Amino acid sequence: MSKTTKSMVGGMTVLGITGIICKLLGVLFSIPLTMLIGADGQGIYQSVYPTYNLLLTVSSAGLPVAVSRMISHALAKDDPRHAKRIFRVALYLLAAIGCVLSIFMFASSGLLAHRVKQPETRIGFMVIAPCVALVCILSAFRGFMQGQQNMVPTAMSQLIEQVGKVFIALPLAKLGADRGVEYGAAGALLGITIVEFVALLFMVFTYLRRRRAFDELPQLSTSPEPTSKAVARNLLRISIPITISACIVPLASFVDSAMLVDRMMASGLTLAEARPLYGLFTGLVIRLINIPTALALSISMSLVPAISAAAALENHAGVRQQSDLGLRFAFLIGFPCSVGMSLLSRQLISFFYAETLSAAEIQVTSELLAVSSLTVVLFTVVQATTAILQGLQKQHIPMYTLIAGVACKIALNYILVGIPGVHIHGGPIASLVCYTVSMVPNLYYVLKYSGMKPNWSGWLIRPGIATLCMGAAVYLLRAVLPVSRLCTLAEVAVGVAVYLGAALACKAITREDFASLRRRGGHKRKA
C-alpha cells in the first residue's frame, strides 16, 4: 500500500472514529433533551433544524470541498503560495455568504415559523440564525486543513461541538423548558450556536499555531500566481455543483418538515398525534442512523483531496487504487451497520430511550429504525462515489443523480405518508428508494471515469459473506436473550467480533488494512 493511500486511510480512521464518538454523543444528548422537552418539544426542535441545515448547506457545503481539492492540487504541484491565496479568498467568500444568510434567517423567523405551521418555532429560528455564519467561517478552516490531508483539527473541532452540546445546550434547554417546551427547544438551539463559536475559536487557534510551518513550505512551482478574482471564479465553478448536490438531501428534509406532519394528518392523525411521530423519526431514528454514516462522511472527506492530488500528478494507477479502496471500505462499513442495526432495532431503541419513551413509542420507533437502517449501506456508497467523482472534477454527475433520487423520495413521501395505517412508516421506504436511485448511476460513472474495473468480490461478495455470518450470530442471540442493556452490549460485541473474524477469514479485510489504520492522516512534505 502506497504512502499516499496509507495517509488517506489514516485520515479516514481519524475522522471515522471521531465521527462515531460524536454521533454517539449526539444520541446521548438526545436522551436528556427528550426527557426535558418531550416528544412534542422534539417535534418543535426538528421543525427548526431542517431549515437551518438547508441554509447551512447552501452556504458552506461546496466551498470547503472546493478548498480542500484546490489546496491539495496546489500542494501536489509544490505551489503553497497558491494554496494560501485559495484559503484567503474562500474565507472571505464564506464569511460574506454566512453573514447574509444569518441575517436572512433572523429577519425571516416569523415567515419560517408560518411555513412549518408552528408559531412556537419562531424563537428557535432566531437563536440559531447566527450559527450559519459561524459554521461557514469554521468550514473554511476545515477545508484548508483537509486540503493538506490533515484531518485531526477537523476531528477535534467536531468533538468540541458534541461535548459542548452536553455542557451548554442541555442546561439552556432545562432553563427554557421551565417556561414551556418551545422555550426548551429554543434553549437547545441557542446552545448549539454558542458551541459552534467555541469550535471556531479552536480552529482559528490551530491555524495560527500551524501557520509558520505552512509558510516555510518551499515554493518550487514557477507558475504565475493567479489573481484573487481568478481564484474566486475557480472556487465557485467547482463548488456550485457540489453545493447543489449537498443541498438536495437537506432540501428534502426541509420539504419533509412541512409536508410529513401535514400528510400524516391527511392520513387521519391529529396534530397532537402526528408531531410526536415526526419528532421520533427525525429526532431519534435519524440520529441513530447518523452514527454509522459518520464513517461514510470520513471516507468522503479523505477521498476528495487524495484523488485530486493523484489526478493533478496524472497518477492514473493511484486514482484507480484509491477509488477502489474507498468503495471497498464503503461496503465493508455499510453492510454490517445496516444489517446489525436492523436486527437489533428494538434493542438499540430500548438501550438509549427505555426511560424516556413509552412502550408504544419504543415499538413505533424500533419499527422505523429497522427499515431506516437499511439506508446506511446505500448512503455510504453514495457518499464514496460522490467524493470520487468530485475528486475527478465530475461534480455535476452526483448532483443530477441526487436530484433524481430526492424527487422520488418527495413523491413517495407525499403518497405513502398520506395513506391511513402507513403514515410515518412511508418515510424510511422513500429514503431507501432515494439512495438506490442515486447509487446505481454513481457507480457506473465512477467505473467509467476512474478507469478501474468492478471489484465485485472485494465490494460485495466478501463483505456480504462476513455480514451473513454476523447476522446469523446476532439473530440467534436476539432469539435467546432478553431485551436489556447488558444483553444488547453483548449482542453488539459478539456481532462485531464475528464480523471481523469472518471478514479476515474470507479476506474482506487484510492485515495490510489494519497496518494502514494505525497511521494517522496528515500531509507531510519534505523541506
Each residue's pLDDT tens digit, 323-378: 888 888 889 889 999 999 999 999 999 998 888 888 889 999 999 999 999 999 99
Q: Output DSSP code: residue 521.
A: P
pLDDT at 404 over 60: yes
**What is the model's pLDDT at position 437?**
94
Q: Which of 49-63, 114-128, 155-169, 491-505 has the lowest mean pLDDT?
A: 49-63
Instruction: Give, rounded to a whole angstrom, the gap between the first and last alpha carbons of the chain.
Output: 24
* Main-chain phi, psi angles of 219, to 5 degrees: -90, 95
Question: Exposure string (b/e) for 295-332, b if CB count within 10 Å is 16 or more?
Answer: bbbbbbbbbbbbbbbbbbeebeebbbbbbbbbbbbbbb
**What is the model's pLDDT at position 11?**
57
Residues 248, 403 contacting (CB under 8 angstroms) = yes
Higher pLDDT, 138 or 30: 138
Measured between alpha carbons, how far is 424 from 503 in angstroms, rounded to an integer?
36
Percent of the chain whose pLDDT exceeds 90: 34
Could you tell me the pLDDT band of residue 444, with boundaries at 50, 70 and 90?
very high
**What is the model's pLDDT at position 411?**
92
Average pLDDT over residues 116-125: 86
Mean pLDDT of all residues belonging to the chain = 84
Q: Which of 159-168, 235-244, 404-413, 456-465 has the lowest mean pLDDT?
A: 235-244
**What is the model's pLDDT at position 387?**
84
Q: Which of 191, 156, 146, 184 is nearest to 33 (CA)?
A: 184
Higher pLDDT, 295 or 186: 186
pLDDT at 211 over 80: yes
Positive or negative torsion for Cα 441, 442, 448, 451? negative
Model confidence pLDDT, tens digit, residues 145-175? 888 878 788 888 888 988 888 889 899 999 9
Measured between alpha carbons, how far is 146 from 141 in angstroms, rounded to an integer?
9
Average pLDDT over residues 308-314: 76
Amino acid letter, 194: I
**What is the model's pLDDT at position 77?**
82
Could you tell me the pLDDT band of residue 256, with boundaries at 50, 70 and 90?
confident
Instruction: Using CA atoms of 478, 376, 48, 201 in order, give the dihedral in degrees to the nearest 10.
Output: 110
**What is the model's pLDDT at position 69?**
79
Residue 203 Cα to chain centre, angstroms: 20
**What is the model's pLDDT at position 429?**
93
Domain boundaries, the chain: 3-220+229-454, 456-518
Most confident of 269-273, 280-284, 302-306, 347-351: 347-351
pLDDT at 1 over 60: no
Percent of the chain whose pLDDT exceeds 70: 88
